[in-house]
Chain A
Amino acid sequence: MSGLSTVVDELIADVDGVLLFTTNQSTYEQFADGDLPVIVVETENAVGAESYVSLPLELSSPSERVRFGIEGAINQGLLEEDEEVIGLTQSFSESRLDTVVRVRTDEFTQTGVYDLFANSRPDAEVVRDVFEVAIELGRKGQKGKPVGALFVVGDAGTVMNKSRPLSYNPFEKSHVDVGDPIVNVMLKEFSRLDGAFVISDSGKIVSAYRYLEPGAEGVEIPKGLGARHMAGGAITRDTTAIAIVLSESDGMVRAFKAGSLVLELDPEAY
């Protein structure tokens, strides 16, 4: 046993802060009374923590979650770039803390995943809702077949001026918002049409069936991705919008901001 406790002691020695992934009040209070700064990272601040990073999605992998928590904490000025932190999170259980991760805050390059939600032009809730639609579409497909989809969120006016309709816009003169369960069904149905969905800052679905016409020079996307990703990446460089792309070939959901890939999620993991 002494070997185990040595390892654990070493693991938690000289840390500068704790990232706590919990909604449990008593768990939080155990930590809040200590001298280490505690940052709660969760989808909701159920424990009323002072330092809190809002987790926009139920990220399934612990490393993704810790990465998001650290980026968020640095962004909010809760952590410095050269600190050692402990992440207490869940890997197998739903709610019990079963994973301890020790990480230096500058151990990885920041991808801007926190920035994507918190500091993008569209509301964080809208971004989250679009992600949820894309993830669900990726998991279930359209009538069992894998589909691709491209959602351009925010800066809708500029995006509309940098694109042209492929056919009649099914959302013309309709006032529907993404996040509404019925609308999500509509989005899934229309995903069989080619072209992009344009969604405004506040989540209003402006158009489907758009052909994006940005200049694609200098847009770096991973090799092997096709025209949909290229179009999505390029439009975010020319506008302040973000693009959320569901790949038809590998089924991944990817998010682009300012012309570069920021987040890659596997819908099957949700």
Chain B
Amino acid sequence: MLDALDSISDSLTKETAFTLAVAVLVLGLVASYLAWRLTHSLFRRTGLTSTVEGTTVERTAGRFGTSTAGIIGMLFALLVYAFAMLVAFNITQVFDVSAFWARIAALLPQLFVAILAIIVGFALGDRAKLAVQERLRSVKLPRASILPGLVKYSIYYVAALIALAQVGVAATALLLLLAAYAFGIVLLAAVAFKDLLAAGAAGLFLILNEPFTIGDEVRVDGQRGIVQEMTLFVTHVEADGEEHIVPNHQVFRSGIVRVRD
């Protein structure tokens, strides 16, 4: 595109080129203002303003007298204006270093995306931390408080990785680290939740098909008694004042004997 501009500017006189460049600059100014406005209204309309409220990014932005929407809008406006400037320079050919400008032009969007990734990552991380904290608030377990932080920094890490990859820094090692981390989590989860998953799957069948129901006398997993409760994960079987809570996969595996007399 810049080559095309070059060929246009070659065919222009110096005065026309200058006027055109000024016009492009003014147009760029207007466009960047519009971009800034657009970001603001987009933030408001999609409810993003309330979403980022209370996050570190928003607070930091607040300290500089602006907001997240302001920062992203500014970035966007700057990008547009930088592009306009680029075009203007090319038309007037003040500096005849088109190769240099071409490289800058290629780098600009990447830089923009990188900064955007950082901002979005920080806001998202904070939000996720708050959400997890909210969910865990009813659980009065001090050790569970490590989880929100873990979630937050995981998201920060991914955001940083995206940003680094955008500007072309070699991040392969970090990527490998992330892969190992993700793999570890998946592996741990699979091992830890194995029984729960199996019980849940069996429970789904039991609840949907109801081969037995509350009040039936059954023998499951060696326990004979009256069914008191059926949930997704466990079945409560009670006999002689003893309530056996049997995991559903065990119910399924052992088979069910319905006692009828």
Taking Cβ atoms with an 8 Å cutoff, the residues of A that contact B are: 155-161, 172-173, 175, 200-202, 204, 206
Contacts and interface: CB of A to CB of B under 8 A. Distances in A.
B207 A175 contact: yes
A204 B213 CA distance: 12
A156 B207 contact: no
A156 B230 CA distance: 11
Contacts of B215: 156-157, 159-161, 206
A158 B226 contact: yes
Given A161-B226, A175-B207, A156 B214 contact: yes
Contacts of B227: 157
Nearest to A240: B241
Interface string B154-197: 00000000000000000000000000000000000000000000
Contacts of B229: 156-157, 200-202, 204
B210 interface: yes
B231 interface: yes
The list of the 6 closest CB pairs from A to B, nearest first, reads A160-B215, A157-B226, A157-B228, A206-B214, A156-B214, A157-B215
B237 to A, nearest CB: 9
A265 B257 CA distance: 44
Contacts of A160: 214-215
Contacts of B210: 173
Interface string B221-233: 0000011111100
- Which of B207, B217, B226 has the most CB atoms of chain A within a 10 A radius of its CB? B226
Interface residues of B, number: 15
Contacts of A172: 213
Contacts of A206: 213-215
A97 B236 CA distance: 45
B6 interface: no
Given A156-B214, A158-B228, A201-B236, 6 more contacts: A157-B216, A157-B227, A157-B238, A161-B226, A200-B229, A202-B229
A188 B74 CA distance: 58
B223 to A, nearest CB: 13
Contacts, number: 39
Contacts of A159: 215
5 contacts: A157-B227, A172-B213, A200-B214, A201-B229, A204-B229
A158 B228 CA distance: 8
A202 B228 CA distance: 10
A157 B214 contact: yes
A204 B226 CA distance: 16
A233 B37 CA distance: 70
Contacts of B213: 172, 206
Contacts of B217: 161
Nearest to B215: A160
B235 to A, nearest CB: 11
Contacts of A156: 214-215, 228-229
Contacts of A155: 228
Interface string B192-220: 00000000000000010010011111000
Given A156-B215, A157-B214, A160-B215, A201 B228 contact: yes
Nearest to A161: B215
A175 B214 CA distance: 12
A175 B230 CA distance: 10
Contacts of A201: 228-229, 236
Nearest to A155: B228
A196 to B, nearest CB: 13
Q: Which of A155, A159, A175 has the most CB of B within 10 A?
A: A175
Contacts of B226: 157-158, 161
A238 to B, nearest CB: 14
A200 B228 contact: yes
Contacts of B207: 175
A185 to B, nearest CB: 23
A157 B217 CA distance: 9
B238 to A, nearest CB: 6
A11 B230 CA distance: 53
A161 B207 CA distance: 20
A28 to B, nearest CB: 20
A155 B210 CA distance: 19
Contacts of B236: 201
Contacts of A157: 214-216, 226-229, 238
A215 B217 CA distance: 21
A258 to B, nearest CB: 15
B163 to A, nearest CB: 42
